[in-house]
Structure 1
């Protein structure tokens, strides 16, 4: 994929930053979205020698932010060829103890903003007969995740939505919707005080964000619909399909709720 315009959310660090580097190295124009303006500027300076970079400082957990981004892009006369919905957040803890406001913000970011931005960009892609959409989900998309109940549910939505949209767009032109479902990844995602258990797991078995980004990019190039980066996670998810859900949930709960 070369000489395309890429809209990439959550671009200031982690998987998003690594994807931005890969798209830039392949000659694609970048429109990068993140809420951390300082980091966005740093990323822009880093990649500007490779390609044209536009940055938009926006918090997608705020209602209406996706439409504001789309309107700004339209005013600039830009046409999105590739949309990467990478921005996301997670919380760990018992549902009843976690902040209601923060959990609703997570739903807004992980589901509502992703859906709205996809809908807006798809309209223009359909006019041109070409589009690539990459949504970053999680292995939590496949299994309910005690201690991350709402997060897991949002990622299950992303998986289901992406797989359905891929089928819907198959006969509309040159379209691909890829959903990438990484396991624990070594980013700042799990490095907050609410995610001690997840951080412990990530330190032991986590995959580097650069590796996940490389797999995600290749998946989009090869027009794959669904990909789980890492053999161990592919095997784990496949194995779980042969076990009763109650048993799977019991062991996931033991792992995620351990002190």
Structure 2
């Protein structure tokens, strides 16, 4: 039986690659983002190439009512969601007390509230039929505090914690929750967040590679998976438990300070 995946932030980057991967497996899709032209183009591309059904929902997930609207539309059209992929998110650099509050508030609404509410809306159905998978796109940023991206790192830590907790709560069911933690990835994220001007983004993984790793981990029901890490990045993460927190904070701050102002 065909599996339908609902993917947020599907117009570009990791979300778009996840949509392509799922369609290549013969799965139908519900793709969601603000960018209507990009979604409609992706819809046509996937339907033509793979012969799957692709439904487009144009929504700004920073709107507090958007998640309920999405769920209501899915229900009203009698669509079954088998895989919920919470991919939408954004970041932004700068000192917490200097960044525009409106931007950080929107970040929390998207990275935390939208993901949490969509999971809460769809999980009861998954549990009732004892099938379904959730893939939450977190970040290796979830593993440490993030000076110069304090709110972004905090939102991703929330995603990791929430995903792991729900995974345990569902351990007596066939429903799984996977937490995907990419490192620096070649997507629009770098440009929109300003991270493309930092040393952290000097070496990036491909969005296709990260998406495939996450998709495979979701199908296997893994709890956590890291993706797209260089040898140096892997070594740094492995050293975290042994490194004094102040040293970590200074290191992260330096890595995330734009080069022209470093």
Same fold (TM over 0.5): yes
1-side partners of 2:26 and 2:36: how far apart?
Answer: 24
CA apart distance, 1:200? 3.7
Find the aligned partners of 1:177 and 1:234 in 2 and give their Cα distance: 23
Give the structure 1 partner of residue 208 of structure 2: 210
**In 1, are the aligned partners of 2:8 and 2:85 still within 8 Å (CA)?**
yes
In structure 2, the partner of 1:219 is: 217
Query: How far apart, CA to CA, are the structure 1 residues paired with 2:256 and 2:203?
Result: 14
TM-score, length basis structure 2: 0.93
Q: Which runs of 5+ in 1 are unaligned?
A: none
Question: How far off its partner does 1:198 sit?
Answer: 4.2
TM-score (norm 1): 0.95
Deviation at residue 234 of structure 1 after TM alignment: 3.5
Specify the alignment match of 2:181 in structure 1: 181
Q: Deviations over 1:39-80 (max 9, x none)?
A: 000000110131110010001011111010000110110121
* Post-superposition offset of 1:126: 1.2
For the 8 Å contact 1:186–1:202, the answer to whether it is kept is no
How many pairs align? 255
Cα deviation code 1:96-150 (max 9, x no counterpart)? 1111111101100000010000000001111111010000001110011111000
> Would the alpha carbon gap of residues 231 and 169 (structure 1) be closer, same or farther in structure 2, given more than 3 Å must change?
farther
Q: CA distance change for structure 1 residues 223 and 199 in 2, over 3 Å: closer, same or farther?
A: farther
Task: Confirm or deny: 8 A CA contact 1:184 1:201 kept in the other structure.
Answer: no
Matching residue of 2:235:
235
SS in 2 for 1:241: helix
What RMSD, in angstroms, separates the aligned Cα atoms of the two structures? 1.4
